[in-house]
Chains A and B, each alone.
Chain A
């Protein structure tokens, strides 16, 4: 039972354009969402997060949008740079449910930004 789904295994975009990475979830108890970026042979690096009380959070080139009614979130990267090429993981947790902050991850999307 995949509670966090990233349906696109890969995405290719041109440098300077917008990258949009999508994530869907099924557990209505999730109230905190994170995006991690992972290079080969390295651990995931925290990028940006959003609480369910918000519908948008922005940090530089990265913006995360949350649509609670659709149980959908997306990560926008603009403008995309070749150094953004990596695997992006969506993760979710039920912070207010006493779950000890456990994260449930999607399978990841490989983003390739072409020069």
Chain B
């Protein structure tokens, strides 16, 4: 149980493109979803927290207009990287939590902007 599916696993695109990443909880209702970013040899850095049906809460230093988060249902959250540039290249990973249960993670998305 507690499976989180994240798609796509890898994206390579040109600078200026917007990229959408989906995160789905397959067998539980995700009351809260989280989006992280990880740089090489660094820890997972929380970007934003979203609760179903409400606006995401962004961490300090994360541009909300750059990283659009939608959590329209209890099983789906999306992260859209708008007008992506090479500095946005990174590993993005989502997690989901039902109530007070531990967070369960997707397998991540490797984003490469050329």
What residues of A have a CB within 8 angstroms of the CB of B43 in the complex?
Answer: 2, 4, 89, 105-108
Q: A102-B34, A107-B41, A107-B43 are in contact. Are A46 and B93 (CB under 8 A)?
A: no
Q: A41-B107, A101-B97, A107-B42 are in contact. Are A49 and B102 (CB under 8 A)?
A: yes
Residue A45 lies at the interface, judged by CB distance under 8 Å to chain B: yes
Which of B46, B57, B102, B106 is the one whose CB lies under 8 Å from A43? B106
Residue B25 lies at the interface, judged by CB distance under 8 Å to chain A: no
Report B21 CB to chain A, min CB distance, Å: 13
Residue B78 lies at the interface, judged by CB distance under 8 Å to chain A: no
How far is it, in angstroms, between the C-alpha of A101 and the C-alpha of B42 when the chains are bound?
21
User: Contact residue range for chain A?
Assistant: 20 to 34
What residues of B have a CB within 8 angstroms of the CB of A34 in the complex?
Answer: 102-103
Could you mark each residue 55-98 of chain B with 1 if its beta carbon is under 8 Å from any beta carbon of chain A, else 0?
00100000000000000000000000000000000000101010
How far is it, in angstroms, between the C-alpha of A103 and the C-alpha of B51 when the chains are bound?
15
Within 8 A of B (CB), among A57-113: 89, 95, 100-108
What residues of A have a CB within 8 angstroms of the CB of B49 in the complex?
Answer: 100, 102
What residues of A have a CB within 8 angstroms of the CB of B106 in the complex?
Answer: 43
Report B72 CB to chain A, min CB distance, Å: 19
Q: A105-B43, A105-B44 are in contact. Are A43 and B4 (CB under 8 A)?
A: yes
What residues of B have a CB within 8 angstroms of the CB of A41 in the complex?
Answer: 9, 107
Of A41, A101, A105, most B-chain CB atoms within 10 Å: A101
Residues of A within 8 A of B (CB): 2, 4, 34, 36, 41-46, 49, 89, 95, 100-108
Q: List 15 A-B contacts (CB under 8 A).
A: A41-B107, A42-B108, A43-B6, A43-B93, A43-B95, A43-B106, A43-B108, A44-B105, A89-B44, A100-B32, A100-B51, A102-B34, A103-B34, A103-B103, A105-B44
Residues of B within 8 A of A (CB): 2, 4, 6, 9, 32, 34, 41-46, 49, 51, 57, 93, 95, 97, 100, 102-108
